[in-house]
């Protein structure tokens, strides 16, 4: 099997070593050193070249190096080329850590206490039990479902919302646009782990924030274009929202002087909620290639009609 990798070169070197070790006899090359392009079977990329099928006329599968595959321009990809997003335990664990950290920080009022520290103000506030804090996860896919586990174990009151109805032990689930309002009305900490599609673009807006209980908080770890920045700032100004942990923005990076950089109620991170980990991702890639070659369904195959 011939694989070409086109993404961050440093991490690519790790992928190369691991593929060589775990799939002896295969060929793994890093862009732009692609060898004979007519022999390339699989491309692992964040951004493929725009003339992908001219570059690789015999390409069998395009693998996204990340969990999202919204960065691809599908109009330029042949309709029958399978596109697969990354589902692997290292990436999932990273997101579990980030969301748990963010929820605990918000639950324990850390943005407020950090602001008080800057003002040299020693002022305790009443503590709330985890069981009285209602967490709501938007997107109950591989990441959304995984982040709920530690939150349930910590005793939070957990709910979730997805496009189609899900059944998750201990989690009250809602589905579809019709049930979004009911889900938001009971959510104190809203976590967005949705893919970016036509239906989720701009979803985190005033209309959404106004349906949350007064003083709710937001964790945005999905995709930047889902969040309306001005609407978030207005919701924070009016205290409809108390705080936000934002990992993804549109654009990335945020321009100098953007109000998020210095806002006391915003924790901003540079799209690091999670990352694909070569040690585990290589196994996921090789297992998917084996599935593809034996005619089984690949894990993470993008459904182009659905948009994710």
**4, 273, 277, 284: residue in contact with ligand NDP (rule CB under 6 A):** 273
Give the residue with the Cβ less far from ligand OXD, 67 or 102. 67
Among 50, 54, 121, 164, binds ligand NDP (CB under 6 A): 164
If residue 220 lies in a helix (H) or strand (E), which one and from where to where?
strand 216-220
Which of 102, 61, 66 is CA-nearest to residue 86?
A: 66
Cβ of residue 92: shortest distance to ligand NDP, in angstroms? 8
Least CB distance to ligand OXD at residue 222 (A): 9
Instruction: Judge whether 64 and 39 are in contact, CB under 8 Å.
Output: no
- Exactly one of 184, 195, 219, 298 binds ligand NDP (CB under 6 A); that residue is 195
Is 223 known to be catalytic?
yes
Among 67, 99, 218, 236, binds ligand OXD (CB under 6 A): 67
C-alpha distance from residue 287 to each of 131, 231, 234 (Å): 40, 43, 47
83-95: b (≥16 Cβ within 10 Å) or e:
bbbbbbbbbbebb
Residues 27-66 as x/- pattern, contact with ligand OXD by CB under 6 A: ---------------------------------------x
Q: How far is the CB of 172 from ligand NDP (least distance, A)?
A: 15
Q: Which is nearer to ligand OXD, 67 or 77 (CB)?
A: 67
What number of other Cβ atoms are within 10 A of residue 117's Cβ? 10
* 77 within 8 A of 83, measured Cβ to Cβ: yes
Q: Is 68 in the site for ligand OXD (CB under 6 A)?
A: yes
- Residue 196 as a binder of ligand NDP (CB under 6 A): the answer is yes
Question: Taking a C-beta distance cutoff of 8 angstroms, is the pair 41, 1 a contact?
Answer: yes
According to DSSP, residue 203 is labeled: -
Q: State the catalytic residue, choosing from 85, 133, 163, 223.
A: 223
Beta bridge partners of 172: 159
Alpha carbons 280 and 171: distance in angstroms, whole number:
28
Residue 202 binds ligand NDP (CB under 6 A): no
Rounded to whole angstroms, the Cα distance separating 265 from 278 reads 34
CA distance 65 to 238: 40
Written as six digits, the tokens of 291 are 């599935």
Min dist. Cβ of residue 185 to ligand NDP (A): 16
**Pick the catalytic residue: 258, 271, 291, 304?**
271
Residue number of the CB atom closest to ligand NDP:
141
Binding mask 135-154 for ligand NDP (x = CB under 6 A): ----xxxxxx----------
Alpha-carbon distance 29 to 143, whole Å?
Answer: 30
Residues 221-260: x/- map of binding to ligand NDP (CB under 6 A)?
xxx-----------------------xx------------
Taking residues 141 to 180 in sequence order and writing x for each that binds ligand OXD by CB under 6 A, - otherwise, the string is: ----------------------------------------
Closest CA relative to residue 187, chosen from 161, 167, 163? 161
Q: Which residues are catalytic?
A: 223, 271
């Amino acid at each position: 099997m011939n694989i070409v990798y086109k993404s961050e070169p440093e991490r690519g070197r790790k992928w190369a070593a691991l593929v060589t070790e775990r799939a002896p006899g295969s060929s793994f090359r890093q862009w732009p050193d692609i060898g004979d392009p007519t022999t390339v079977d699989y491309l692992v990329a964040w951004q493929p070249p725009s003339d992908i099928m001219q570059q690789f006329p015999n390409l069998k599968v395009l693998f996204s190096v990340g969990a999202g595959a919204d960065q691809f321009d599908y109009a330029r990809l042949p309709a029958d080329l399978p596109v697969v997003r990354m589902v692997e335990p290292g990436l999932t664990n990273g997101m579990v850590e980030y969301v748990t950290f963010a929820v605990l920080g918000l639950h324990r009022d850390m943005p407020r206490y950090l602001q008080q520290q800057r003002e040299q103000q020693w002022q305790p506030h009443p503590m709330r039990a985890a069981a009285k804090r209602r967490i709501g996860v938007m997107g109950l896919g591989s990441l959304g479902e995984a982040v709920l586990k530690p939150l349930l174990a910590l005793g939070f009151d957990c709910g979730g919302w997805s496009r189609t109805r899900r059944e998750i032990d201990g989690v009250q689930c809602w589905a579809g646009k019709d049930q979004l309002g009911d889900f938001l009305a009971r959510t104190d900490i809203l976590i967005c782990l949705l893919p970016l599609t036509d239906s989720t673009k701009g979803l985190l807006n005033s209309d959404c924030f106004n349906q949350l209980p007064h003083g709710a908080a937001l964790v945005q770890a999905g995709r930047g274009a889902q969040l309306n920045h001005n609407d978030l700032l207005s919701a924070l100004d009016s205290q409809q929202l108390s705080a936000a942990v934002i990992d993804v923005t549109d654009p990335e990076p945020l321009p100098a002087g953007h109000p998020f950089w210095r806002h006391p109620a915003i924790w901003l991170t540079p799209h690091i909620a999670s990352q694909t980990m070569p040690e585990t991702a290589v196994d996921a890639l090789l297992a998917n290639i084996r599935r593809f070659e034996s005619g089984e369904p690949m894990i993470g195959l993008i459904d182009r009609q659905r948009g994710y």
